[in-house]
Structure 1
Amino acid sequence: MKKYREGSEGSMFKERIKHMDKYLVIPFLVLSLFSIVMVYSASSYMGLKDYNNPQFYLVRQTAYVIGGLLFAFIGAFFPFRLLKKKKVVILGILLTIVLLLILLIFGREINGAKSWIELPFFNVQPAEIAKATCIWYLAYILSKKQKVIADDFLNSIMAPSLLIGLVVALILIQPDTGAAVVIVAISAIMIFASGVSAKVGLMLSAMGTVLVAGVLELVRHFGTHLPFLRGYQYQRFLAFWDPFALADGAGLQLVQSYYALSRGGLFGVGIGNSVQKTGYLPEPYTDFILSITGEELGLVGILFVLGLFTFMISRIYLIGIRSKRSFESLMCIGIATMFFIQALINIGGVIGLMPISGMTFPLLSYGGSSMLILSGSIGLVANISARDRIERSKALVNK
C-alpha cells in the first residue's frame, strides 16, 4: 500500500510539471533572472561607495531570487484545500494584523516611515505580506458570497470591507500610501469580479474617480494644512506638478529619471554604463530601476521588460477567467491586479504621470519580501492552471 501511494504521488508530481503553464512560468523566470543583472548594474556604484563592495546588492538579490524560486515551487504544489479552510484563512489575516501592529511598535523608522521589521538575517516588510493575505481573504469570503452579492451588495461586502479597511488603516499609519492604494485597488477589482452588477460597478468607479480628483484638489489648495498629509508627502505632489522648479530638492528624483531615460535613447548606452546611478539618481536599484534600464538598454530594453511583464499579467487574468472555481478565479484576478497596479504606480512615478510613492517595480527591483511574496503568488497561479489543465485533459479522455 505504501509503495502504491508513493508511486501515485510521484505520478501526480510529474503530471503537475507536465501541465505547468509555460507561458506563465517562462516570463516569470526571465524577469527574475534579469533582475539579478539589472540590480547588480544599478547598485554596483552604491555598493562600492557604502560597503566597499560592488557585489553587495548582487549577492543579496541573487539570494532573494533563489528564495523566490523556492516560494514559487512551494506555491505550485501547495494543497489548495488548506487555503479554503475557514480557520486557516482567519489565522492568516490575524497574523497579518499582528505583524502590522508589531511594526508600528518596534519597526525602525526610515525617511519618516516604519516599513520593516528588522530580523538578524532578513528584514520583513509586513505591507507586502498584507497584499497577499488580503487577496487570499477576499477570494475566500467573496467566493462564499458570490450567489448573493449581486442582490444584496452592501450587506455582502460590509464585513470584508471593514476588515480590509483595518489593514489599510494600519498601513497608512506607517505611513505607506503606495501599499494602501494597491490593496484598495485590488479589493475593488476583486469585488467587481465577484458578481457585482455593471450598474453598481460603474457607479463605484465614478465615485472613486471623483474621490481621487477631489483629494488632488484638496492637496493643491491646502497642502500641509491637511491633517492626513505630511510635509515630505506634500513635497512629492509639488515635485509631480513642477519637478524642474524643485530640481535640487523634492524634484531631484524625477528630473534625474528624465535625464536617464533621455540619455538612453533607443538602444541605451550599454549595460553597466549608466551615469545616473553614480550618485545622481537616488534609489537606482529599487524605485527607479526602470530608469536605469532605460539608460543602459534604451527604449528597446524597457519595451522588452514591459512586454514580457504585460504578457505574464495577461496570462494570469486569462487563467483566472478560465477557472471554473470561484475561489481560484478570484485569487488569480487579485494576484494579476497586484502586479498590474504596482507596475502602474512605479511607471507613473518614473515618467512623471503620478507622484513618486516609493513603489518598486515587481520582480525587477531589489527587495526580499516583495520578491518572495510575488514569486509565491506566481506559484499559486501555476498551481491553479496546472490543476485546471489536468481536469480538462481527463474530461476529454473520458468522453
Structure 2
Amino acid sequence: MTAFNEGERPKGGGPWLIWGIPLVLSLCGLVMIASLSLRNSMTGGSPYSQIVKQCIFLLMGLGLMSFCAFSSLRGLRRWSGLLWFIALLLLVGTLIPGLGVRVGGARRWLDLKVVRFQPLEFLLFVIPLFLADRLNQSRRRGFQGFLRPTMLVLLLSILPLLFQPNLGGTILVTLICLMMHVENRGWRYPLLGGALMVALFASLVMIEPYRMRRFLAFWDPWSDPMNKGFQIIQGLVAFCNGRVFGVGIGKGLQEDEYLPAAQTDYIFPAIGEEFGLAGTLFLLSLYAVWTIRAYRIYRRCPNSFLSVLTLGLTTSIIGPMFINVGGVMKLMPLTGIPLPFVSAGGSAMLFMWAKVGILLSVNRISSREEEREGKRPGGRRAS
C-alpha cells in the first residue's frame, strides 16, 4: 500500500474538469494580458503583439495536449530516459555564450532565433515520466533505493539549474522528485533528503550576495523601498488597491509603471488590483478544484507507475502556483516562477498543456482497466 493510496478508490467522473479548468485559467490570463497590453500601447508599445503570441501558444498547447492524451504512454515511457538526457543538454546549452540568453542576471533561456525557449519547462515535463519509470523498475529499497534512482536523478537535474542560476526551478525539481519517492517508497528518507536540501538552499543564499539581498528584501522590503524591495511593495500595493471587487479591467494604476513583470511573474497582483479579492479567490478556487480532480485520477490508477506519474505531474503543475502566489504575497522569497496557465510565456504554456494531456491519458487507461475489472466474474476489483 502506497503512502497516499489508502482506503477505497473513488469512482471517477468525466475528465472534462482536467482540461476545462486550465482552459478557463488560460482565458483569464488572456484577458489580463490584453488589459496590460493596451496600457503598454499608451507608452509606445504594440497593443496586440503579446496577446496574439499568447493566443498562438494556447492553440499550440491545446494541440500538444490532444497529442499527449491519445499517444501511447508505453512509448513515452520507453523514450523517457533519452528525453531526460536531452533536457539536461538543453539546460547546459543555456550556459553557452551566444546560445543562452541572459535575462535579469540569469541564463535560463535558449535563443532559437525564431523564438526563445526555456528548457526548465521541458525538464519539468520529462522528470515525472522518467523518475516514475526508474522507481517502478528499481528493486533497491531503503537508503540505497533513495540514492538510486531518486537522488541521482535529482542531483543531475538541478546541477545545471544551480549554474544558471535558477533557485526557483531547483526547489521545484526537488519537490517533484521527493514527492514521487514518497508515493513509491514512503516518507522516511525524503524527509531526511528534504532537510539536507533546505540546508543546501540556505547555504546557496548566504554565499551569493545577490541572493542574500533578495532574501533581505523579502524579509523587510521597506528597508530598501526604491530598489530591492520595490517589486514586493508594489505587488502588495496592487492587492490593496483592488480591495474586494477591484478597480475594473484596464483601470489598474500599479501596472502603468510601478508593477514590474506584470504580465509574467506578477500577473497575480495585477489581477488582484483589477478584479479584487473576488478575482483572486476565484482563481485560487479553480486551482483547488483542479487539484481535487487530479487526486481522483491518482486514486483510480491501476498500478504503481501511473500513481507515481500522476502525483509527479500534479506536483509540477500545482507546485509553481504555490511558489508564485507565495512569492508575490510575501509569504516566501521571490523565485521567478510563472503562474501556471495564466502568466504570459510560451514554454510554460506548451508543457503545462502537455502534462494535462498525459493526465487525460492516465484517466483513459484507468477507465479501461475498470471496465475490464467489471467484466470479470463477480465484477469486483482487486483491492
Structure 2 length-normalised TM: 0.89
**1:324-377 Cα distance to aligned partner (Å, 9 max, x none):** 122221111001111222111111111101111111111110000000000000
Give 2:261's aligned residue.
283
Give 1:10's aligned residue.
none
Q: What 5-or-longer segments of structure 2 have no aligned partner?
A: 1-12
Give 1:93's aligned residue.
84
Give 1:314's aligned residue.
292
Contact preservation (8 Å) 1:313, 1:339? no
Give 2:273's aligned residue.
295
Q: How many residues align?
A: 363
Local SS of the residue matching 1:282: coil
Give the AA of the match of 2:85: L
**1:293-322 Cα distance to aligned partner (Å, 9 max, x none):** 111111111111110012112222321232
Structure 1 residue 98: Cα displacement:
1.4
Structure 1 residue 216: Cα displacement:
4.5
Give 1:15's aligned residue.
none
The verdict on how the C-alpha distance between 1:156 and 1:247 changes in structure 2, with shifts beyond 3 A counting, is closer
Give 1:4's aligned residue.
none
Structure (1 or 2) with the greater helix fraction? 1
Give 1:153's aligned residue.
143
**1:44-82 Cα distance to aligned partner (Å, 9 max, x none):** 3235536x3112211111111111111111111111110
Give the AA of the match of 1:305: L
Local SS of the residue matching 2:297: helix
2: CA distance, partners of 1:297 / 1:279: 19
Give the AA of the match of 2:120: A
Give 2:194's aligned residue.
208
- Within 5 Å, which residues of 2 pair with 1:35-184? 35-46=29-40, 48-49=42-43, 52-85=45-78, 88-105=79-96, 106-145=99-138, 148-149=139-140, 151-155=141-145, 157-184=147-174
* Among candidates 267, 274, 281, match of residue 245 of structure 2: 267
Give 1:22's aligned residue.
16
Q: What 5-or-longer segments of structure 1 have no aligned partner?
A: 1-18
2: CA distance, partners of 1:349 / 1:325: 36
Contact preservation (8 Å) 1:67, 1:372? yes
- Within 5 Å, which residues of 2 pair with 1:183-202? 183-196=173-186, 198=187, 200-201=188-189
Contact preservation (8 Å) 2:15, 2:360? yes
RMSD, matched Cα:
2.1
* Among candidates 352, 361, 375, match of residue 330 of structure 2: 352
Q: Which consecutive aligned stretches of 4+ in structure 1 deviate over 4 angstroms post-superposition? A: 213-219
1: CA distance, partners of 2:271 / 2:76: 38
Local SS of the residue matching 1:136: helix
1: CA distance, partners of 2:41 / 2:128: 35
2: CA distance, partners of 1:247 / 1:167: 36
The verdict on how the C-alpha distance between 1:47 and 1:208 changes in structure 2, with shifts beyond 3 A counting, is farther
Structure 1 residue 191: Cα displacement:
0.5
The verdict on how the C-alpha distance between 1:89 and 1:215 changes in structure 2, with shifts beyond 3 A counting, is closer
Give the AA of the match of 1:118: D
The verdict on how the C-alpha distance between 1:43 and 1:245 changes in structure 2, with shifts beyond 3 A counting, is farther
Local SS of the residue matching 1:247: coil
The verdict on how the C-alpha distance between 1:237 and 1:93 changes in structure 2, with shifts beyond 3 A counting, is same
The verdict on how the C-alpha distance between 1:390 and 1:210 changes in structure 2, with shifts beyond 3 A counting, is closer
Structure 1 length-normalised TM: 0.85
